[in-house]
Chain A
Amino acid sequence: MNNDVDDIMDGDLTELEISESESSTSEGVDGESDFEMDRISTSDSSSEDEDSDFEVETKPPAKRRKVDGPKLKTKTNLKSTGTPKAKAATQKQGRLQNMLTMPLDVLFELFSNLTPGDLVNLTRTSKNLRAVLMSRKSISVWRAARAQVPGLEVPEPPEDMSEPAWAQLLYGGAVCSECGAKNIHKIDFALRRRLCTKCMKQCLVYASSFRNKCPGLDPSVMEYLPYTNTGGWAHGHASSSRFYMKSDLLAMGKKLAELAQDKKAMKEFRKERILLVDAIMQDCAGYTKWATEAANLRSSTVADLKKKRYDDVVQRLLNAGYEKVDITNSQYTRLRAQPGVDSDKELTDQVWKHIRGKIEAVVINGRAERLKDQHERAVWSRRADAVKRYNKFCQLILPAQWAYMPNTDQAVGLTCFQEVYDKEADVTSADWTSAMQKLPQCLSEWMKKKHEEYIAMLPPANFPSMTMALNVLSGPSADVVRREKMASYAGALELALSVFTTDNHRALFGRDTCNTWKLPSPPTFSLRGASAVLSLFKTLAMNANLVTATALDHLNRRFVCLACAQKDHKSIDNLTAYSWRECVEHYMQTENSDHPSPQWRVLEPRQTADIILREKRLPSSMKKDSTRNWLCNHCGQYSADADANGWVFNSSNSLQTRNTVVHHLRTVHHIAAPVDDVDLLYHVEPGDRRPIAEPVLVNPRQTVPQPAQSTTQFRCAHCRAAANGGSASTRLFKLDGLKNHVQAKHKINRALEPGIDYY
């Protein structure tokens, strides 16, 4: 190998930044010959005996020379201390360190198979390799590499650039030539650089700002330098603006200063530079166009290659027996994200062997997710079936017992249904039949568990035990249960003393308490409420441990609060009359300072009757009856015209007004005088309680205002009932007119009751 400095290609040194000291090291590269041919000696192989390396097959690889001084934290260093697995892989494959001992023509043959980018990277590995690749002898290698670039033919380097410099510019990496910033894809062919925006702002000199930016420099230097039209700022400059590299300007200024003494040389130089700049600027557009087209083509090719690689991966997975649905649908994004999939390289067997494990893990995971999803869908479908079957089951049960039963969400979680969901195979009608046979037992267990949970909240006492069996509507005992046993259905929880409350400070008793079993969190036992009840029993001289809330309701007595009388200095006549439920809530809602202990007086029956009459005339009472919240306790249907198949448990859409249900009871079940809580029920949402009468004064000084004022108008409830779901009469009456109408048309000669006779 020729060691002359001249042997190094012009332009390479500047473009690839080889210092003089580097080029001098190339002296040590050449000289020795193996088989009388040139070879490169490397730092690694310098201590080796070449012949023995060639001849002895079993000699282990020579140790690498230890580098003095602190080691730079390079990727190489990191790799060398990497995982044992990575080390093992390198050792298994072996290194090519003896490659550099090859004769030069072999090396050039080898390098001719590389791309320009590979060659640029090789020049960066070590000084020796750089020196070899920068020698004039290697120019054919660079040309061959350029010719092998796929896609558009790469243009030959401009006159002022060598092959390596051209390769460095085009394929030396998308980094800024000044600061090394990454992802700088645009090449400025006039400046022969890639520049990031920051460096453009710092390094480019706008022609008009030349005097400010380069003071003392002759503006004529700009004539001898190429320029770009793209500055660092997006706005403010015309597209024909000229920007020069400041470093180029300074260097040119220096050069001109050097030539200042030699006018002939200066003239020659200026002439050459002007011609060169013209040529550079003329060629720029062509290079830029080529770069854009090549980038587009490369991008398109890469996309195609990536697709092919992905398709290859899919095909290999299919060949391995995986299902297409687990590969191509939901797993597309995940698969593409796996290392080794999103690549434009051909998928070789070796690579597949390497990446297969991780990719198969994704597919296996995807299959597991799909099967899980399928199972969940099947479960949801089975749950929907369970809801329908549970609703149908509820239609057969006494409606008064619905309050004690789980809601649909809770019911479909019962074990009898759970067994159906968990079944791997398809569910048959026999499975459902079996589940429905087990349902009553499961419901009993559920209700028992809830009952025990609530009983545990009550103070210790000898409450009577109970068994909450569900009663079928068509069963022989249904009527007895409906009329007599429902009052004590939940045992101790039905006692008036079992006062529970929720956050709204309302008192819950009996069925309303048990209705909260459907809630995620239970109510709390109210000690203050219980003491109020105890005090009421004392007032009534009754045994608190035996009386249910329903029994107390049937007494239908009214009370006044003596604590209020004492506090407000009121006479009994001026106090508010309360039902027993109102008394409990009143005491619960008052402060201990006002009402340190509950004190009640029970009102005389005559006074109570008058109060009840006045309560019924109150708008709130009438509103309760006219609200669509009532249901029949005889047939499980909320209204006569409800469709049995379309009926949905706990659906407020199917509830009706009291009058409608009363009419239904009279006409369908032939019950002339339906009784509340026995024949018809007021539907209460879980956690709420049935409406209680609005308090009235014991003895109002003025006449209790009649609901039927002269301006108030009513409709006849009997006419609507006669219409039987059809269009009822829209005729409006004043109260007197209504009385006459009811007497004349419906032959009713009693005092009219709101809700029953009119609305």
Chain B
Amino acid sequence: MPTIVSVDDSTVPGEGSSRLLLLVSSDNKHIVVEEDIMSRSRFISKQVEGFEATSQRHAILLPFSSFVLNKVIEYCSHYRGYYLLEDDPDAAPPGRSPVREWDQEFLDVDRNMLLRIIKAAHYLEIKSLVGSCARAIADMIRGKTTEEMREILGVENDFTPEEEHSPSSKCTG
């Protein structure tokens, strides 16, 4: 579980046009990032609002590794200052995530990493990144037969022989 701990003010260089945040990954790496970059994360925004209420600055502990965190920061840095409809809580539900070329290259990572990024994005409440990851994962599943899906998802066929041979189970698209 994430924890917010008090830190010494001197560890956070908070003066300047954009305040800095200290993010601590699960592997205990301290990453300083401008608040402005992470404003796309609703989770971070809520934390920052909490800092203002208590007039205390804190390090934010996150339950994923620095490697994943850096990827998320890279994403947020790329879209710094951009308006993305999916991330607007007041906008209508965007439906299917739009295709963004940069996202496709950004998410050209192995499947395990992709899952970690989407989990992190979900934790940080970055809807646009969740949507892009979901689309990338869906692309791996789309158009596959049942057997291929089982292979990709690593699930066993746990239907009984009767169910296995029932008409609906025979249909493998």
Residues of A in contact with B (beta carbons under 8 Å apart): 15-17, 19, 22, 35, 42-44, 51, 54-57, 61, 64-65, 67, 72, 74-76, 79-80, 90, 93-100, 102-103, 105-106, 109-115, 117-118, 120-122, 124-129, 144, 147-148, 168, 171-173, 175-180, 345
Contacts and interface: CB of A to CB of B under 8 A. Distances in A.
B157 A76 contact: yes
Contacts of A117: 173
Interface in B128-145: 130-131, 134-135, 137-145
B172 A55 contact: no
Interface residues of B, number: 59
A544 to B, nearest CB: 89
B147 A96 contact: no
Nearest to A66: B156
A44 B171 contact: no
Contacts of B137: 96, 99, 110
Given A64-B156, A117-B173, A175-B170, A103 B111 contact: no
A643 to B, nearest CB: 73
Given A109-B130, A113-B135, A121-B149, A175 B154 contact: no
B62 to A, nearest CB: 10
B163 interface: yes
Chain B CB count within 10 A is highest, among A15, A17, A80, A148, for A17
A177 B111 contact: no
A75 B145 contact: yes
B115 interface: yes
Contacts of A96: 111, 115, 137, 140-141, 152-154
B90 interface: no
B63 A55 contact: yes
B119 A102 contact: yes
Interface string B3-29: 000000000000000000000001100
Contacts of B143: 115, 118, 345
B168 A95 contact: no
Contacts of B163: 17, 19, 22
A99 B137 CA distance: 9
A95 B167 contact: no
Interface string B27-68: 100000000000000000000000000000000000111011
A125 to B, nearest CB: 5
A94 B157 contact: no
A97 B154 contact: yes
Chain B CB count within 10 A is highest, among A51, A106, A171, for A106
B167 A179 contact: yes
A117 B149 CA distance: 12
Contacts of B95: 112, 144, 147
A175 B156 contact: no
Nearest to B95: A144
B172 A95 contact: no
Contacts of B173: 117-118, 120-121, 171-173
A180 B164 CA distance: 12
A102 B157 CA distance: 20
A176 B63 contact: no
B101 interface: no
Nearest to B153: A96
Interface of B: 1, 26-27, 63-65, 67-68, 95-97, 110-112, 115-116, 118-119, 122-123, 130-131, 134-135, 137-161, 163-164, 166-173
A115 B139 CA distance: 11
Contacts of A176: 167
Contacts of B65: 55-57
A162 B161 CA distance: 26
B150 A72 contact: no
B112 A125 contact: no
Contacts of A114: 138, 141-142
B150 A125 contact: yes
A384 B109 CA distance: 64
Contacts of A54: 26, 63-64, 116, 119
A98 B115 contact: yes
Contacts of B166: 17
A17 B168 contact: yes
A80 B155 CA distance: 12
A122 B140 CA distance: 13
A522 to B, nearest CB: 67
A446 B26 CA distance: 93
15 contacts: A19-B163, A44-B154, A57-B67, A93-B110, A96-B152, A97-B155, A102-B118, A109-B131, A118-B143, A125-B146, A125-B149, A126-B156, A129-B155, A147-B95, A171-B173
A61 B112 CA distance: 9
Nearest to A345: B143
A106 B118 contact: yes
A122 B168 CA distance: 12
Given A103-B122, A125-B150, A173 B157 contact: no
The 7 tightest CB contacts between A and B, nearest first, are: A97-B154, A173-B171, A113-B138, A75-B147, A94-B111, A180-B170, A110-B134
Given A55-B65, A76-B150, A125-B157, A180 B138 contact: no
A51 B153 contact: no
Given A75-B148, A106-B122, A173-B172, 19 more contacts: A43-B156, A61-B112, A67-B156, A72-B157, A74-B147, A97-B155, A102-B122, A113-B96, A114-B138, A114-B142, A115-B142, A121-B173, A122-B141, A124-B168, A124-B169, A126-B157, A175-B171, A177-B167, A179-B167
Contacts of A93: 110-111
A59 to B, nearest CB: 9
Given A115-B142, A125-B146, A106 B156 contact: no
A114 B160 CA distance: 26
B60 to A, nearest CB: 15
B11 to A, nearest CB: 23
Nearest to B165: A180
Contact of B138 (A94, A110, A177): A110
Contacts of A57: 65, 67-68, 116
A186 B35 CA distance: 58
Contacts of A95: 111, 151-154
A126 B65 CA distance: 31
Chain A CB count within 10 A is highest, among B139, B161, B169, for B169
A179 B164 CA distance: 13
